[in-house]
Structure 1
Amino acid sequence: MEKTTFNASVIHFLLMFGYKLFSLYFPLYLVSIGLSVISVGWVYLLIYATIALSTIATNFWIHKINPAKAASLGILGYGIYALLMLLNPGTFVFYFAQILLGFSSSLWLVSLKSIIIDSHPHNYNNSFGWFYSAPEYASALAPAIGGLVIYKFGFNGVFALSFLIQVTNAIWAYHKLKGISTSVITTFHDTPIRSPACRQAGISKTFNLNNLKQNYKEIFYSLRKDKVASFALIVLFIALILGGIFRPYFVLFLKDLNYSQNNIIAFLSLLSIIFIPLSWITIKYIGKITSYKNIFIGVTLNGIIFIIIGFLSNLLNIIFLFILLLIDALAGLMAGSGKSGMIAQKFAKFKEEASTIDTILVTLGPGIGSMIGGIVISQIGFAPTFLIGGLTVLAFSLMFYFFTKSSKAKTQEYV
């Protein structure tokens, strides 16, 4: 593993460890303060929408400053978020904190992905595999520790612990990353632009909004020419919407199946512990196959898993459900690594814009899914929602498979 990938992955682990101390129980917390299932969906949509909407601003900003600073500020924002929640805010401050969390997420996500892309790793799929598996390592311990802290000290205790971890991580991240990433004041696309519209615009010596516009014109011009890549992004977006429908409500789903809080903690902690060694094997496989194959396999498995959970929800025993969710986690790792690897390979010259597009996809999709999930689940229940979502994702995945086969001669780089 390259040094940059290692440092970015460790920072990602620490960030997610501090966040996952309470994030698993956040839907329960929201319900406990009087929010309905639909309102829970709107809270998640607010967070994800803020991430998606602020990524362009973050994209522009990290052209101007060292991305190590932006990443550290984003991590510090997580600490401030935990502090605000600790202070038991009123309604206004509560929703402001969710917006702050979203903006902070865009800062560290775009910055860390940009740093990885700029390091030119030997294998993009492999590097992003390590990066995306880092949160699962945190999940092996954080929910159990967070649950114990909540049991002893309530949510205020876990918010205080999260605050300390995030502040420490922000300082450590800047120390580690400042020597890796360099100032990017002039890292806009400075080679001849291929698209006609961009070719006429020219390039200035100082990065500005016009340069940002030119970079995105070049990216979208390239996507219009590459139908398979465009289709892949559509399929991934549909799969991410499904993830948004499922994951924010998963704890409530288990509660609906009469699992106790202690059982949920033990279940998810064990799931993450078993995931860790299996993720190492999966990452090796991810690095050996193309981005498109990673996307197809990962998304297809996601769809099948949710069809099974939706169809057999009342018949699933804990062991079968455990196996299904373990496969789903590994499939998500494959799809996410393939997505980021594909985007990084296609747009390596636009590292900030590439990481921005990646971030918009992984936040806007779940944000829309959380809103849809809150509405649909409250109307038809968990099982039918998961079944319909899984069938939709599987249908798009199969269409993508046949489309790539018909376009194979044009896509030797990925297929």
Structure 2
Amino acid sequence: MMEVGDATTHLTDLSTNEKSKNFNSNNDILSDEDVKLSFGGLLRADEVASNQADGSPVEDDIVKSSPKEGLSEQETKEKQEWLEQVVQEQSEWDALELAHQSVSGGVKITPSQSFADALEYLLSRNMDKTDIAPTVERTGFRALLHFLFGPPKLKQSLVDERDSVFCIAKAQLQNGDELHAGILQTIYKKLTGSKFDCPRFGSHWQDIGFQGNDPATDLRGVGLLGLMHILYAVNNDNTYSFLMDFYRLSLDAEQNYPFCVMSFNVSRITLEVLREEKLNRDMNKANQVVAVMNKFYLAVFYHIHNIWKTQRKTIKDSGTVMKDVEIAARKTPKQLLKAWQVALDKRIQSKSVTAPSARKSDYSHLSTGGRSRQSSSWSEESQEHAGDNDGPSAEDMVQFTNITMAVKDEPVTDL
């Protein structure tokens, strides 16, 4: 059995392709459970369960079985050897991941944080609603036009929920709050496919599109609402595959962009449209605020994704793209929602929705500029070669953030 230190040295030289060739044709990593089920219990179930419980790598101890009917002794031997190699490879990768976690302060596996529980927790906090602006103040002729031709007023029964959304957008990430940490860990693991928690601070956050080593610094203007939107999308079976489409495009060698920063700008646009009461009709109809906001967030992100992908946009086009998207969101929210619903229904009907817990490894080895997106990305080696990444430069990142955050100051005539 290879020691953790040896595994670290040995596996640094392995490429992603070399690793993936030892797994099935769908490029899914064979989990211990997959191996156990696929080969009729060749692994001892009690040992697998024990190893999974304490987080240790699976031992390559195989129960020797007699040749099955229809297979020659040589074929059975070859299958047995192949299975041993699969388990050994998996254990070595797990050992490498464990080694990196140990360097970072110990192994920890935080359970996935559900959106419903997180929302309930945040809504139960004592929220200060004295310093929020849930609607746009209009005076004079503009107020009259809005009254006569503007959207309907929000139901009184939904006002408190709407105000709470703005309070969540004002709330900041707290290091000592376990739920806040759980939200961050869930987002990171869902996007990267990592099994273990990552450190609270580090360059690995840049892998999913934060600008620096501390995610809290990117939450200006949207607060925890920015994280909640992503949490909703990764925890919903019908939207997870869409979000992964957006994430994959953000890793493209030419069209890459900082994923989380883009998402927070979508949250900001959503918040502005809510403040302008453009979603009141849909919220009154659904008798919900948060659910409609989540839907509109995804509709705007889907609109950006289509423009970015089909028109071959890059980060240098971000200013124009975001300005056009914000105008569309304010002027034609109904059309954006309709386009999103059509796309969502089509994917559901085609039965191509990928649940977060299924085929997780489909998204486990995403890369940008040729760098593997492994959970070990915060290792010393990956940090040493961080400059080799062909992603957006620091100058582009600053320009992108400044442009997109400044778009909200552009005047847009409305009722």
TM-score (norm 1): 0.28
Instruction: Point out the structure with the larger helix share.
Output: 1
Higher relative contact order (CA 8 A, sep 6+): 1
TM-score (norm 2): 0.28
